[in-house]
């Protein structure tokens, strides 16, 4: 599937509503993410109101398949947040197309690094439920997926694990930090 990637600001009101639905459904397996009333709609709205945020949608005709956002957190590094694909079309290249579009846009803006956090608050890796102290950095080498965790997808796209935030989402529920260099080092 080769979706058409468009700037978020070009989405219709109906597509914006779909963006919120996709956000909710894509994160339904994570109990702390966008489940409350209006949370997904509020998150979508930030990409229209905050100049530090930008997003792109993936369309098949007029149907929104997914979307990706970025937050300009540093002068030369952006945070990829979020990447969501409608569960009915996952594993068909939509996410990879969105990441590629964001990487191209970031590189065109002189961004050197994209980074992201990919939480494990659902048991998707072998680090879930574990006490990562002491030697948090040492645990990175043994990180492995157990049930479809997104870090494996990002790794296939060239992102690498650069850190862990133990207990970020409660005891034994870490955030896995990943990054990718977009431009060669000097």
Q: Is residue 1 part of a domain?
A: yes
Can you give the pLDDT at residue 186?
Answer: 65
Q: Do residue 140 and residue 182 come from a single domain?
A: yes
Can you give the pLDDT at residue 20?
Answer: 97
pLDDT above 70 covers a percentage of the chain that reads 98
- Tokens describing residue 21: 């639905």
Q: What average pLDDT does the segment 8-12 reach?
A: 97
Residue 89: CB atoms within 10 A of its CB come to 18
- Structural domain boundaries, residue 82: 1-90
Q: Is residue 95 part of a domain?
A: no
Q: Do residue 31 and residue 83 come from a single domain?
A: yes
Mean pLDDT, rounded, of the chain: 95
Query: Side-chain half-sphere of 162: how many Cα atoms within 13 Å?
Result: 14
> pLDDT digits over 146-159, tens only?
988 999 999 999 99
- Tokens describing residue 139: 């645990």
Query: Side-chain half-sphere of 145: how many Cα atoms within 13 Å?
Result: 11
Structural domains counted in the chain:
2
Q: Do residue 26 and residue 67 come from a single domain?
A: yes
> pLDDT digits over 56-91, tens only?
999 999 999 999 999 999 999 999 999 999 999 999
Q: Do residue 118 and residue 79 come from a single domain?
A: no
Q: What average pLDDT does the segment 100-106 reach?
A: 98
Q: Do residue 38 and residue 71 come from a single domain?
A: yes
Express the helix, strand and coil content of the chain in percent, nearest 5 each. 30, 30, 40
Q: 58 pairs with which residues across the strands?
A: 5, 66
Name the nearest CA neighbour of 101 among 176, 7, 31. Answer: 7
- Domain CATH number, residue 61: 3.40.630.30
Q: What average pLDDT does the segment 167-177 reach?
A: 96
pLDDT at 183 over 80: yes
Q: Do residue 64 and residue 141 come from a single domain?
A: no
Can you give the pLDDT at residue 160?
Answer: 97
pLDDT at 181 over 90: yes
């Amino acid at each position: 599937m080769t979706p058409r990637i468009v700037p978020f600001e070009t989405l219709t009101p109906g597509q914006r509503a779909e963006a919120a639905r996709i956000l909710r459904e894509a994160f339904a397996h994570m109990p702390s993410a966008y489940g409350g009333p209006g949370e997904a709609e509020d998150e979508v709205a930030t990409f229209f109101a905050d100049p530090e945020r930008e997003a792109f949608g993936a369309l098949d005709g007029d149907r929104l398949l997914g979307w990706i956002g970025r937050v300009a957190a540093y002068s030369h590094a952006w945070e990829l947040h979020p990447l969501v694909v409608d569960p009915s079309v996952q594993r068909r290249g939509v996410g990879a197309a969105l990441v590629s579009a964001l990487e191209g846009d970031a590189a065109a803006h002189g961004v050197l690094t994209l980074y992201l956090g990919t939480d494990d608050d659902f048991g998707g890796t072998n680090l879930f439920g574990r006490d990562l102290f002491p030697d948090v950095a040492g645990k990175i080498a043994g990180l492995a997926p157990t049930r479809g965790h997104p870090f494996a997808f990002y790794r296939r796209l060239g992102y690498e694990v650069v850190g862990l935030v133990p207990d970020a989402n409660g005891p034994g529920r870490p955030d896995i930090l990943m990054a990718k260099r977009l431009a060669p080092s000097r």
